[in-house]
Amino acid sequence: MKRGFAIFLGLTILLMAQVMLLPRWMPQGFVPDLLMLTVILVGFWKPKGQSFWLGLFFGLSQGWMHGAGWWAFALSRAFAGIFAGWMRTQWLWASPIAAGFCAAITTIATETLLALLLALSERSLTPFALLFTIGSFEAIFNAVAGFAISWLLRPEGGAGVEVKGKVLLALIFLTVSVACPQEKWLLRFSVREGTALNWHIRMVTKKVVNKRSDTEITELWVREQIEQIRPNGNLVWSSQTLRCVINGEVVPVDKTEKTISELTPLGYPTRPFTLPPPSLHQLDDWLLDLFGGVSLVFPATEVKVGDKWHYRLSVGLKPPNEPRHLTINYQLDGLEKVGDRECVKISVKLDSPVRLAWGWKDASIIVTGGAKLEGTFWFDPSLGSVCQRRMKLSIDYTVESERWDGFQFVQTTKYVNQVMEVEAQLSSH
């Protein structure tokens, strides 16, 4: 009775730790599957069918908690126990090295079966893409862990605790000792109506054209205010530049001019994103407007540390021009203090090609290159707004032109590299 209760308690703790604790501790996509490792080791050291039921239980529970594909998880995990037992009785000997080898091969076979079942269910090849990215990590981890656990806890002459119980205890101790409680956030913009946000923004732009370089430092003092909260929760947001300094010189600004925008609580603009067609004479400004205007958006569901989401933005360019779409990737990195504010730290990344072409009767111009953006937002849930952001935007492109001068085609090439670093700090509200 005590033994059965101990095994049940151990299985429950291991299951909860795998699903709720390890995703917080490990980077997303590199979470070891200790449940599958347990099934494999029990199947290897006890190849008499117990691992089938253990795998079925773990698979059903894991699939149910993931919310999809419960039958695929159940079949694949039950298969893992049977396959490990079959390898042990037919091909391998009882040793830690053989256990590690069996863990690696069984992991690959099990995850391939799971990907196949999910692909048939979802009618998509996405599960195979996940298999190629995380399958090798799981196989290596399970091989090393399987060898180490078997070497430390292998049975000797029948004495001591049974292998199944010792494997469970070892994995439970490993998981609970390094994991920490999971926390989720439902992130929304929720600033109160009438709230004013005063920003200090510093932008450093370094531009290299062929071999000539130029640096511009711009400082802005901007006031944002929530003018209205609509019944559906949308925020009507005004922005006003109070002061502008470029390279130490004050530039006059119209303090009466305000920019009005409307955002959903998730951060999405209510109006479609639009840009005028690119112009060669204002190409740098066009590219900065395109890539430098990246803002923070949230997913509709709760997120935890390590979770990722993305925002796909239509640019409106037609082939062969690029980009036609921008995919902005976000990741929740954790909690971090900004002054006295407890903020959620969210990183953002964007990587996009650039290709623009113009053609006339006697001339043509082609722009090729790319843009890369990396940055961080610090979001204050108590305020309902970002309180700090940092961005680094790098744009590299080459302008190749060809024109007929009346006698021959003349070709010219210009290389441009532009790096803009932005740091914005909320000074008061």
Q: Where are the extended beta strands (E) located within 210-340?
A: 212-229, 235-246, 249-251, 259-263, 303-304, 308-314, 325-338
Total residue length of the chain? 429
Which pLDDT belongs to residue 381?
A: 93
Q: Tokens 């005590």 belong to which residue?
A: 2
- Over residues 195-206, the pLDDT tens digits come to 999 999 999 999
Domain hosting 72: range is: 2-182
**Longest Cα pair distance anywhere in the chain, in angstroms?**
99
Chain position carrying tokens 């009466």 = 256
CATH number of the domain residue 10 falls in: 1.10.1760.20
- Are residue 22 and residue 55 in the same domain, yes or no? yes
Q: pLDDT class for 232, splitting at 50, 70, 90?
A: confident
Do 176 and 220 lie in one domain? The reply is no
Q: Is residue 100 part of a domain?
A: yes
DSSP string covering 33-58, please? -HHHHHHHHHHHH--SSHHHHHHHHH
In a 13 Å sphere around the CA of 58, the CA atoms on its Cβ side amount to: 30
Q: Which pLDDT band, with edges at 50, 70 and 90, does 124 fall under?
A: low
Q: Which residue has the higher pLDDT, 147 or 70?
A: 147
Say yes or no: 177 and 272 in one domain. no
pLDDT tens profile 280-293:
888 888 998 888 88
Same domain, 96 and 220: no
**Number of domains the chain contains:** 2
Residue 189 lies in a domain: no
pLDDT at site 59: 77
Task: Spell out the residues 6+ positions from residue 241 whose beta carbon is closer than 8 angstroms to its own.
Answer: 220, 221, 222, 253, 255, 257
Structure confidence at residue 156 (pLDDT): 47
Assess whether 157 and 268 both reside in one domain. Answer: no
Report whether pLDDT(220) > 80.
yes
Convert the pLDDT of each residue in 53-69 to its tens digit: 777 777 777 666 555 56
* Residue 344 scores a pLDDT above 70: yes
Contacts 24+ apart (CB under 8 A), 190-193: 190/265, 190/384, 191/226, 191/235, 191/383, 191/384, 191/385, 192/226, 192/229, 192/384, 193/226, 193/227, 193/228, 193/229
Of the pLDDT bands very low, low, confident and very high (cuts 50, 70, 90), residue 20 is: low
Cα separation, 235 vs 258, in Å, equals 16
Residue 362 has pLDDT above 60, yes or no: yes
Q: Is residue 414 part of a domain?
A: yes
